[in-house]
Structure 1
């Protein structure tokens, strides 16, 4: 598939049950490949891979979006509403953005833009005050991408988990 103008050709839609396996493998492949390049010390456990592959469970608590190009799912992102099980949003009336990933062969093609545009539009439709997200400490390129879109670092939302430190970012949609 030609990567030129792939973002312009992307159709973003809500994921369907028949997308679950493809989306799960896309998440595992994208995360493992990117972290192997940028943060080689990061190791994905079989448990974490199983969580990434469990798209059906994610669809029960979140709106999972996919980007499709020429009929092929090549990207994904999930948006959890306030109060959803597993939401890590630290602000009231805020959506939690998770699992932005694109097919490895499309990394750097701008495919994240239509996915984020759609997720942020959905948060506005839900009348959210903000979109919250977390980035693994050390993933500077990912953090820069979000900051270019207007997200700002908000340390109050940071999460120190046993296996990872996550830095918090927020995009305020109101006021």
Structure 2
């Protein structure tokens, strides 16, 4: 089809260059030829897209959420101050005690400042920790936490409390 349009276009240009009486008809004829070519291409495109429907995606099976406290244990939790001032690096080790390989877990951390046995809550942060740990094994993890900062206030006696909110295991393959 494309070669036919190109052949007609070349013929029209040749005739317009060769014969002066044909020149005044060359532009309208080329415009009509281009319009017909575009219309043909559009019809072909529509008919091809109608035939090539995408196959329905296979359903994805998600592993069930498992009780957080029964399936993992966290050890060696350390909090290091980072930059800016109220940003902290959390490191620890997660052990998978569950029946399925671990994919990730969500950890909620609360920071308090307790200078003289009276604690003032600074803030909370939740981290999504990607930790692919096979059943019965342990792996180190690292994440960052950020808490609200007040100008001129620094922490004197930080106190950390954390809780595992969600644990997600991998589906059996």
Q: TM-score normalized by structure 1?
A: 0.22
Which structure carries more helix by proportion? 1
Larger-Rg structure: 2
Query: Which has the higher relative contact order, 1 or 2, with Cα contacts under 8 A spaced 6 or more apart?
Result: 2
Which structure carries more strand by proportion? 2
